[in-house]
Amino acid sequence: MIQAFKDYAFREALDSEPGFSPKIAKWAIHCNLEGRYLGVLPLGDVEAKKVTGKPFLKCPDLSLPEMKTGGSGTRHFLIDAASVVALFGKEAGSEKARVKHAFFVRILTEAAVEVSSLGPAAACLGDPLQVETLRRDLEHQKAAETDNVTFLIEDEYPLEGDDWHDWWRTFRLRFSKPADMSSDGKSMRCFLTGDLVKPVATHEKIRGLSSTGGLPMGDVLVGFKQESFCSFGLEQSANAAMSASAAKAYQAGLNDVIAKGQNLAGTRVAHWFRNRIAVEDDPYYLMLDPKEADLDARDRAKGLLESIRLGVRKDLAENSWYAVTLSGAAGRVMVRDWMEGSFEQLLANVAAWFNDLSIVHPEGHGLARSPKFMAVLGSTVRDLDDLASPLVSQMWRVALRNEAIPSAAHAQALGRFRISVITGDTPRVAGVALLKAFHIRTARKRQDQENNMLDVVRPALNPDHPSTAYQCGRLMAVLARLQETALPGVKSGIVQRSYAAMSTTPALMIGRLIRTAQFHKDKLASDRPGLAAWYDRQLSEITTHIRDQPPSALTLEEQSLFAIGYYQQLAHRTEKKDEGVTNDQESL
C-alpha cells in the first residue's frame, strides 16, 4: 500500500523533497517593489461563495520534530496562517502569537538579504502601520485566522519562483537531528526502496482527514511512539526504516490522493489508476457523480466493458486501480479498507452493480435511471446524517468487489420502504433496487443450492414468480388499486391499514381483504362492468399462484420479495382488451 502511494507521487511528479510541500493559500498580501502594501486579495474562484484558495506545488515546510527542535515560536516560511503572518485573530494579543509572528518576520528579513526578490515582502511586514492595515482588511473580508496567507509582489508570487529554494535548504539544517536511528549506528535497508540508508527518525503527518476524525495538524500513518510497538531494540521509525526522501514521497502521494478523494459518512474514500484515464471512463465517476446529461451509468459501464473485451480500448485493459478508505482517530490514520486490481475487473464489478440494481420505473416507462451510490445508501435511512460509517465502508466494498449485500442494509431498506408505503409517501426507487440486488447477490452466493432467485428476480413484473410472498405483494397492489378505482379519494385505504400485517402474516389477512374487495368489485360493476371483470381475472390469476395455503409468517427475505412484488405490480402497464376497458384507463 505504501509503495503504491510512493509510485503515485512519482507518476504525478509531486515534490517529494524533504522541507517542501504543496499548500493552498487563500489570501495574498499584495505589495509593490518598494514594499508598499497595496491590499489583500482573495485567491481561487472569485465567483464562489467562500474563498477557495490557490494551490502552490512547492512551499517551504517544517516537520513537527523540526519545529520542536527550533523551539518556541518556530514557524514556516513565505506561507502561513493569518494569525502568524499578520497577528490576526482572537489570540493575536497573546505572547505566543507575537513570538510566532516575530519569527516569521525575522526569517523573511534574513532570507531577503540573500534573495533580493523577497525584499519587498520583508519591508511590507516590517512596517507595523502596514501590518495594522492588513489586519483590518483581513477582518473586513471575513478571513479566518487559520487561512493560509502568502505574498504577491507586483504580479508575481514568490512561491512560484525557485530563487529561495537553496536558501531554505540551508536554513533547514539548523533544525536537523542525526538521521541514524539504528541500534548499532549503521545504515539500514529502506522499507520502500531496498537501498542502504540512514532512516529518518519520524515521518511527516498525513493531512486532510480533519473532517473524518483527524487532527487539523495532521495524523500519523507510520509511527512507533510506544515501546510496545518497537522491536529488536530499535527506536521510533527505525522499526520501518525509510530514507527521508522515501518517507516524504509516500506522504506526498497519500496527501494528494486524500485531497482528491470524497467524504462518505465519516470516512474519506480515494482512488486512482496506474495510468491516468479520462473522467468519463472512470467507474467511480459513474457511481458517485454521474451527470444527468450523460448516457445512463449502467449503459456507459456496459459499453466500456464491451469495448475492452473487443480489444478497442487496450489502454483500459492494461490499466490497474487502487482504492483506500481512511479516517482519523486519536492522531492516527485509520486505514479502513484497501483494494486493488485490474481495471477490467473493476469495470465488470461496477457494471454488475448497476445491472443488479436495475428496476422498472415506478410509472412503468422502462427501467428507472441508475441510482447514485449515495442514493442507494440513503434509501436505508431517514436522513444521510444517520448513515453509520462501517456500513458505508462495507457497501463501498460490496459495489467495487461484487460481493453480497449485507443483511443490515437489506433490513434497513426494507424498513424504510414499509414506512413510505404506510405513510403514503412515494417509496425510493433506489431502495427497491437495493432489495432486488440483495436477492440476486444472495442467490449467486448460494448458487449450488436449489432455492436460486437468479432467474426469477427481474427488473420488471414476473407474473410466474414462484415465491408466494412475491405473489402476496402483487395481490396487495391489485387490491389497493381496486379500492382506489371504486372509492376515489378515500383517505385511509387498505394499504395504510393493512400493509404491515399483510407483509408479515399474510395468512391472517388475505381472507379479510378478499371479502372487502368483493364490495369494491360490486360497486365498480354497476358503472364499469368491463373493468370490474378485468380486476376479477387479475385477482384470480394471482390467487392461483398463492394457492389455498398462504404463509402464516414471512421471513425478512420473504418480506422484501413481498415489497418487490407490490412495487412491480403497481408499476406494471398492461393492455386491457376487455369490453369497455381502454389501455389508459387503468395501470397495474
Cα 200 to Cα 206: distance, rounded to the nearest angstrom: 16
Lowest mean pLDDT, pick from 194-208, 343-357, 370-384: 194-208
99 & 198 share domain: no
pLDDT attached to residue 180: 41
Q: Please report whether residue 180 resides in a domain.
A: no
Least confident of 214-228, 357-371, 506-520, 546-560: 214-228
Say yes or no: 310 and 456 in one domain. Answer: yes
Please say which residue of 230, 259, 288 terminates a domain: 259
**Which pLDDT value is given to residue 291?**
61
Residues 361 and 415 occupy one common structural domain: yes
Please indicate, yes or no, whether residues 168 and 212 belong to a single structural domain of this protein: no
1 domain-assigned? no
Average pLDDT over residues 285-293: 70
3-state secondary structure 435-447: HHHHHHHHHHHCC
Give the end of a domain, one of 211, 233, 259: 259
Provide the pLDDT for residue 21. Answer: 86
Within 10 angstroms of residue 379's Cβ, the number of other Cβ atoms is 23
Residues 168 and 251 placed together within one structural domain of the fold: no
Contact assessment for residue 15 and residue 58, using Cβ atoms and an 8 Å cutoff: yes
DSSP state for residue 130 in the 8-state scheme: H
- pLDDT-derived band of residue 294, with 50, 70 and 90 as boundaries? low
Residues 128 and 197 placed together within one structural domain of the fold: no
Is 182 a domain residue? no
Tens digit of each residue's pLDDT (9 = 90 or more) over 307-336: 999 999 998 999 999 999 999 988 899 999
Please indicate, yes or no, whether residues 254 and 266 belong to a single structural domain of this protein: no
Which of the pair, 421 or 201, is modelled with greater confidence? 421
Asked if 183 and 234 touch (Cβ cutoff 8 Å), the reply is yes
7 found inside a domain: no
**pLDDT higher for 59 or 295?**
59
The reported pLDDT for the residue numbered 243 is: 86
Which residue shows C-alpha cell 489586519?
135
Are both 206 and 278 inside the same structural domain?
no
Of 457, 459, 460, 429, the closest CA to residue 443 belongs to: 457
**All cell numbers assigned to 287:** 457511481
**C-alpha cell read off for 179:** 538521521
From the CB of residue 422, how many other CB atoms can be counted at a distance below 10 Å? Answer: 15
| 181 falls within a domain | no
Number of domains in the chain: 4
pLDDT of 45 reads 86
3-state secondary structure 458-508: CCCCCCCCCCHHHHHHHHHHHHHHHHHHHCCCCCCCHHHHHHHHHCCCHHH
373 vs 579, more confident: 373
Question: What pLDDT, on the 0 to 100 scale, is given for residue 69?
Answer: 85
Contact 475, 543 (CB under 8 A): yes
Question: CA-CA distances (angstroms) from residue 278 to 115, 281, 285, 308, 315?
Answer: 42, 5, 10, 15, 11
> In terms of pLDDT, which residue wins out, 386 or 504?
504
- Tell me the DSSP string of 38-50: EEEEE-S-TTSSS
Pairing of strands 148-153, 188-189: unpaired
For residue 4, tell me if it sits in a domain. Answer: no
Check whether residue 343 and residue 424 sit in a common domain: yes
Q: Is residue 183 part of a domain?
A: no
**Predicted confidence band at 432 (pLDDT cuts at 50, 70, 90)?**
very high
Locate cell 371504486: which residue?
486
Segment 174-181 mean pLDDT: 58
- For 43-190, strand residue ranges (E) read 54-60, 80-81, 148-153, 188-189
Per the structure, the complete domain to which residue 512 belongs is given by: 464-588
One domain for residues 40 and 111:
yes
Domain boundary among 234, 259, 284: 259
| pLDDT of res. 399 | 93
Percent of the chain with pLDDT over 70: 93
Cβ(531)–Cβ(485) under 8 Å?
yes
Q: Based on the fold, state whether residues 270 and 301 are members of the same structural domain.
A: yes
Chain position carrying cell 464491451: 306
DSSP assignment of 222-287: S---SGGG--TT--GGGGG---HHHHHHHHHHHHHHHHT-EEETTEEEEEEESS---GGG-HHHHH
Mean pLDDT over all residues of the chain? 87
Are 93 and 144 in a shared domain? yes
- Residue 109's CB is within 10 A of a number of other CB atoms, namely 16
**Per the domain annotation, does 219 fall within a domain?**
yes
